[in-house]
Amino acid sequence: MKTVTIIGGLTGVLLAVLAYFAELQNWVRIETVLTVGFIGYVLIITAIAYFLLSWLYRGSKKLDLL
């Protein structure tokens, strides 16, 4: 699951950067740029949320052992 999340997060970063440069260079319509950028941000936020929740879960397991 971690590799899928890492790939999703990196894909999100790539999509967000691509949308940023597309907006700067006026490559495509603004609706398409906003959609691609939004999808990228969602992927980034999802990857961060997964890793934070797994970190909290592991931390709570360690506290139960004490």
Q: What is the pLDDT of residue 46?
A: 94
- Contact between residue 5 and residue 51 where contact means Cβ atoms under 8 Å apart: yes
User: What is the domain range of residue 48?
Assistant: 2-65
- Give this prediction's pTM: 0.80
Q: What is the pLDDT of residue 33?
A: 85
8-57: pLDDT as tens digits: 999 999 999 998 888 888 877 888 888 989 999 999 999 999 999 999 98
Total domain count, the chain: 1
**Cα dihedral angle (13, 17, 18, 20), rounded to 10 degrees?**
140
